[in-house]
Structure 1
Amino acid sequence: MANFVLVAGAWLGAWAWDEVVPELRAAGHSTHPLTLSGLGDRKGLPAGQQTHVRDIVDEVERHDLHDVVVVGHSYSGIPVGQAAERIGDRLACVVFVDSNIPAQGESFASRWWQGSPALESAIDKNGGFWAPLAADDYDGQGLTDDQIRRIVSGSTPHPGATLTEPAALERPLGELSATYIKCLLDGPEPTDDVAALLTGKRWELIEMNTGHWPMFSEPRELARILHRAASES
Structure 2
Amino acid sequence: MAEFVLVPGAWLGAWAWDEVAAELRAAGHGVHPLTLSGLAEKRDVPAGQRTHVQDVVGEVERLDLRDVVLVGHSYSGIPVGQAAALIGDRLARLVLVDAEVPVEGGSFASGWWEGQAKFEAILAGGDGFWQPPAVDEFEGQGLTDEQTARLVAGATPHPAATLTEPATPARPLSDLPATYIKCLLDGPEPNSDVAALLAGEKWRLVEMNTGHWPMFSEPRPLAALLASEAA
Same fold, TM-score > 0.5, yes or no: yes
Aligned AA (1:146): E
The residue aligned with 1:144 is: 144
Query: What is the SS of the residue equivalent to 1:6?
Result: strand
Q: Deviations over 1:143-199 (max 9, x none)?
A: 000000000000000000000000011111100100000000000111111111111
Q: 1:37 deviation in Å?
A: 0.3
Aligned AA (1:214): P
Query: What is the SS of the residue equivalent to 2:110?
Result: helix
Q: Deviations over 1:119-164 (max 9, x none)?
A: 1122122111000011000000000000000000000000000000
Identical-residue share of aligned pairs (%): 67
The residue aligned with 1:33 is: 33
Query: What is the SS of the residue equivalent to 2:181?
Result: strand
**Structure 1 position 123 matched with structure 2 position 101:** no
TM-score, scaled to structure 1: 0.98
State the number of aligned residues: 231
Aligned AA (2:178): A
**Structure 1 position 153 matched with structure 2 position 145:** no
CA distance in 2, matches of 1:106, 1:82: 12
CA distance in 1, matches of 2:87, 2:108: 22
Output aligned runs, 1:42-191, within 5 Å: 42-191=42-191
5+ residue gaps, structure 1: none
5+ residue gaps, structure 2: none
CA distance in 2, matches of 1:216, 1:169: 30
The residue aligned with 2:220 is: 220
TM-score, scaled to structure 2: 0.99
Q: Which moved more, 1:53-62 or 1:110-119?
A: 110-119
Query: What is the SS of the residue equivalent to 1:103?
Result: coil
Q: Which moved more, 1:12-21 or 1:111-120?
A: 111-120
CA distance in 2, matches of 1:196, 1:126: 33
CA distance in 1, matches of 2:126, 2:205: 36
CA distance in 2, matches of 1:187, 1:122: 22
Query: What is the SS of the residue equivalent to 2:190?
Result: coil
